[in-house]
Amino acid sequence: MSVTKLNIVILAAGKGTRMHSNKPKVLHEIGGKSILAHVIDCAKALNPQKIIVVYGYGGEIVREAFAQEDIHWVKQAEQLGTGHAVQQAIPYLSDDATSLIMLGDVPLVDVEACKKLIESAQNQLAILSFNKADPTGYGRIVRNNQSVTAIVEHKDATDAQRQISEVNTGIMAMPNIHLKNWLSRLSNNNAQSEYYLTDIVELAVKDNVNVTAEITTDEWSVTGINSKVDLSQIERVYQSRVAQRLLQQGVTLKDAARLDVRGVLNCGRDVEIDVNCVFEGNVTLGDNVKIAANCVIKNATIAAGTQIAAFTHIDDAEIGENARIGPYARLRPGTTLAAETHVGNFVELKNAQVNTGSKINHLSYVGDANVGQNVNIGAGTITCNYDGANKFRTIIEDGAFIGSDSQLIAPVTIGKNATIAAGSTITKNAPADALTFCRAKEQRTILGWKRPQKIKK
């Protein structure tokens, strides 16, 4: 773009009454990211000198959600129209810059369309418009040849003007030297006693400043969200576009309509994803990874050749090459699996490091543990890492075999190539290269026993 200085004003003060929610409208999410975050990301891609967000309903909640962003925040205490909202940003507008006015409830706004609009705004007012099959309720773009002469609201339009299909999106760009002048001359002499930003078109025409409209063919990219119905519809459009991009990259999707990406999904070659899978946060799938149906994967890296069976949940975990996970497995935060590992049905891992070739195939809980290479952990095994107040770690060294229905009471170490007999409750370190078992012959009760207390740090 040839614009040397760009200011972007994002209007995000609306309450969103039709959302029927206590959450500010702009903080509802599309694809796992707030509506306003989508708009801000588009703004940042345009390399502006500054971004100004006009906020209102939700106040500090909205600001706090973007505390890490370099944004100038301006509060619109009273909702007196879009023109009034932009007036609040005047102190931040540079005289020698161009401003792009964006809407905080239009999450699919297109970067390229915005670039084209900004380029068109050299010494004139440029409006983004689109052709609507049923334009009822929209402001009509009235033209004289190619120049725009007015934006007429539906309720004020004549019968002839209501036949116009080209409508206003609310997104526009213009030099600040003109914008500041027009904002100072806005009037609220109308039925709603509000200051309309669209009235600057009439002021531009009076000042002999040309007004142009750039037509976009992507209606969804200029569609705002006003209700949960809108939110649901745009979520589906967003997910469809994500799915199409994945397909174009070579990912095999069993059904592109049954995929949800709520973050960033990076895929290698020959990745296959079955239906109803949800990817959250940052997920990377290596070459030849296969994800079966109904899996939920969040903030995970899954290396090449690994297969994830159905109904597996993975959260903040790292999985090595050619592993086999699931079905119905759960990998919780802090879990790292090396290559050739197997984690089977109804196995839960938390903060566990499992090394190459080890297997935990059935109905086990392994938490706060280091598992060596080529370890076999039998069905129903539990690392008892929590004594009711504090957590401790279990160490299982290379080649160990843990028999079914065993409990390893941490802190405890199982030596290299050790075998733990099925049904054992291990409370002491088990030596290497030996069979260890512990099976109580009688049930006992200890009266007056006190639970451990949390250790003060």
**Token pair for residue 389?**
């107040």
Residue 406 vs residues 195, 214, 354, 366: alpha-carbon distances, Å: 73, 70, 18, 11
Residue 221's closest CA among 145, 309, 115, 130? 130
The two beta strands, 98-103 and 72-75, are unpaired
Residue 279 vs residues 37, 237, 332: alpha-carbon distances, Å: 18, 17, 15
CA–CA separation, 63 and 73 (whole Å): 8
CA–CA separation, 164 and 133 (whole Å): 10
Q: Which helix (H) or strand (E) holds 117?
A: helix 111-120
Given the structure tokens 């576009």, which residue do they identify?
241
Query: CA triplet 56, 60, 61: central angle to 5 degrees?
Result: 100
Q: Which of 20, 38, 178, 362 is catalytic?
A: 362
Q: Rg of the chain over CA atoms, in angstroms?
A: 30
- Going by the DSSP 8-state scheme, the letter that residue 205 receives in this structure is H
Query: CA triplet 361, 366, 372: central angle to 5 degrees?
Result: 80
Query: Annotated catalytic, 342?
Result: no
CA–CA separation, 21 and 7 (whole Å): 31
Q: Which residues are catalytic?
A: 362
